[in-house]
Amino acid sequence: MLSNKVRVKKPSVFLDSDSVQFCSRCKEYLSVGPVTILADKPLCGRCPDPKAVPADFYNKLAQYMYFPCINNQFGCNAMLAWGSAEAHEKICKFVSVVCPALTCQKKVIKEDIVDHFKNDHEELLVARGEFEAPSGYREKNSLVNKLMVWGNQVFILKINFSSASCFFSVSNWDYLNTRKLKYNILLEDADRRRNMQMRDLPVVDYKTKRHENSVMTELDITTLKKVLNTKTLFCTVKIGQESGDINENLLSELECPVCLEYMRPPIFMCAVGHSICSSCKIKVKKCPMCQIPLNSNRNFALEKVTEHIFFPCKNRNRGCCFAGPLMKVSLHESICFVGAINRIKCYMNHVCGWKGPISEMTSHLIHKHPNFYFDLHYSVVFTMDDFSFLKVYTEYNGQIFKLYISQKLGYGIQFGVKLIKNNSLKDRKYQFHIDFEDLEGNNKLLRVTGDCTVSKFNDDNFNLSNSIVIHKQLVRPFVKDNVVEFRINLVEC
């Protein structure tokens, strides 16, 4: 915690939000990299151009800056570190857009679109992806945009009944154009006894409420009704399922007996033949089934089987319907939209009930718990006689760290830095540098380097094995009038 006895000193390289420049093309903040230059005008990372050249100086300087959200004029007060702005903008609840309903021109905050439809366009809500095709193109609602909620995501169904055909498309309301989602459409007769299915149709990005038949899927309604021998045609849309079916019986054989998750290579087994996943293999010494000591035997036959079956996304229980071969589903999980909006608890959860995306954690700490957040752009200044310890959170490279500094009376200063584990990011290694400032102006320099350990946010245990202690004899040349000043820097190894 930042006590009154600890001061922070603002560095000269820090730029406040009022100094942020704008992209010459999209007119948004230059908060998404890499920033480039084209015809002497800056372009942000949202507007890539192959003819542009990198703005190397800006990209390096931006690593020391915090940027306002592009929706700050609509109420978002998030301040975002370089590298985290784009992810935040995709899920920011303050995005304001025109309602997609064809007859509505109201502007609504993007996150409130479902409530807006419930209040103003309830007849356009699609429950469970099901809707009935109109009997003919002369009906009132032959051209319509409907709204469908699937899992935790919102989709816009554009439907244009023109003569004997139906032009149809599914748009992702959240602009997640890198997700490569698919949808299936099930067509059934009035009694739900006969059906036809179209699979693996592409989900497109929602850009405008207008209909463009040339990029929509055409369904021959007249022919479909004749084939299914019905006057009434029911349509059901399902999002995210690739071609091919999940074999639940086979998948059940791949359940790890310890964590109950599906096993993926490497898969280990005991001498009897019982299998266990690699994560649980590290945690147990004996086979959970027969209690025989485990060794490093691999179940290569079962690993080979995993290459030929469909796996569901690990976020299936949260609403994601994606499934595919092991390599594809692993890639999907790294960018899964359900996982991306998964909310985590505030690191100060013993006094705070806030939950939100990890991209907003830094902003939350700064605004709600300023005494427990430290900005690495500042120096630490304290009086030796008054200082006892400092325990705060900080952010670097999109990751959250916990800093611990303690003065060991008569011995020196203890430093420790822990990286709070984030399962949505790849494992990375970091080091911290402690640079002491020469307050006498004699150009003396003291830099101490240590490794950042990995832990959960509520692990406050710092000891000599995962921290460093700088002896008082080394600190003494940097003390003036009983005051010491130093900088903390983090670097990725």
Q: What is the CATH number of the domain that holds 20?
A: 3.30.40
Instruction: Say which residue, 126 or 440, is predicted with more confidence.
Output: 126
Q: Is residue 355 a part of any domain in this protein?
A: no
Whole-number pLDDT of residue 480: 86
| Per-residue confidence band for 332, with pLDDT thresholds at 50, 70 and 90 | low
Are 156 and 138 in the same domain? yes
Domain boundary among 206, 239, 272: 239
Helices (H), 336-437: 337-340, 361-368
227 pLDDT tier (thresholds 50, 70, 90): confident
Residues 234 and 254 in one domain: no
CATH number of domain containing 122: 2.60.210
The number of distinct structural domains making up the chain is 4
Q: Looking at the structure, do residues 217 and 299 belong to the same domain, yes or no?
A: no
Domain that holds residue 60: 16-91
377-387 residue pLDDT tens: 788 888 888 88
Query: String of b and e for 445-455 (b: at least 16 CB within 10 Å)?
Result: eeebeeebbbb
Mean pLDDT of 127-145: 66
Q: What percent of the chain has pLDDT over 90?
A: 9
When pLDDT is cut at 50, 70 and 90, the band that residue 136 belongs to is very low
Among 75, 91, 107, the domain boundary falls at: 91
Q: What is the number of alpha carbons within 13 Å of residue 242 lying toward its C-beta? A: 17
Do residue 309 and residue 422 come from a single domain?
A: no
Burial of 382 (C-beta count, 10 Å sphere; 0-12/13-18/19+): buried
User: Range with the lowest mean pLDDT among 22-26, 33-37, 310-314?
Assistant: 310-314
Which stretch of DSSP H or E encloses residue 301? helix 300-305
Residue 291 Cα to chain centre, angstroms: 40
- Please check the confidence at residue 388 and state whether its pLDDT lies above 60: yes
pLDDT at 363: 76
Query: Can you read off the two tokens belonging to residue 199?
Result: 């699979």
Task: Indicate whether 153 and 269 sit together in one domain.
Answer: no
Judged by average pLDDT, the poorest of 53-62, 155-164, 456-465 is 456-465
Residue 285 lies inside a defined structural domain of this protein: yes
Q: Which residues pair with 453 in a beta bridge?
A: 418
Q: Is there a contact between 142 and 161 (Cβ–Cβ < 8 Å)?
A: yes
In a domain, 228, yes or no: yes
For residues 313 and 386, state if they share a domain: no
Query: How confident is the prediction for the chain on average, in pLDDT?
Result: 79
pLDDT at 252 over 50: yes
Residue 254 vs residue 349, higher pLDDT: 254
* CATH number of the structural domain spanning residue 453: 2.60.210.10
User: What is the tens place of the pLDDT at every residue in 34-83?
Assistant: 999 999 999 999 999 999 999 998 888 887 777 888 888 777 777 777 88
Indicate whether 215 belongs to any domain.
yes
**Dist. CA 85–CA 356, nearest whole Å:** 15
pLDDT of residue 457: 58
314 three-state secondary structure: coil
| From 306-315, 386-395, 481-490, the region with the lowest mean pLDDT | 306-315
Residues 84 and 100 in one domain: no
**Lowest-pLDDT choice from 42-51, 151-160, 177-186, 228-237:** 177-186
Is the domain of 397 the same as that of 444?
yes
Q: What was the pLDDT predicted at 235?
A: 84
Residue 361 lies in a domain: no
Which of residues 185, 208, 239 is at a domain's end? 239
Residue type, 114: V
| Pairwise CA distance, residues 404 & 383, whole Å | 17
Asked if residue 455 is part of any domain, the answer here is yes
Query: 412-420 and 453-455: which strand pairing?
Result: parallel
Tokens of 459: 């692990």
| Greater pLDDT, 18 or 242 | 18
The first and second tokens of residue 253, run together, are 């054989």
Regarding whether 128 and 235 lie in a shared domain, the answer is yes
Q: Looking at the structure, tell me whether residues 85 and 104 fall in a common domain.
A: no
In this structure, the answer to whether residues 77 and 117 fall within a common structural domain is no
* Per-residue pLDDT at 436: 87
Q: Reply yes or no on whether the pLDDT at 138 is more than 50.
A: no
Q: Is the distance from CB of 137 to CB of 162 less than 8 angstroms?
A: yes
- Residue 14 confidence (pLDDT): 46
Q: What is the pLDDT of residues 340-370, one digit of tens each?
A: 555 677 888 778 888 776 667 777 888 888 8
CATH of the domain at 269: 3.30.40.10
Residues of the chain above pLDDT 70, percent:
82
CA gap 222, 220 in Å, rounded: 6
On whether residue 327 sits in a domain, the answer given is yes
On the question of pLDDT at 425 being above 70, the answer is no
Q: Is 148 part of any domain?
A: yes
188 and 295 housed in the same domain = no
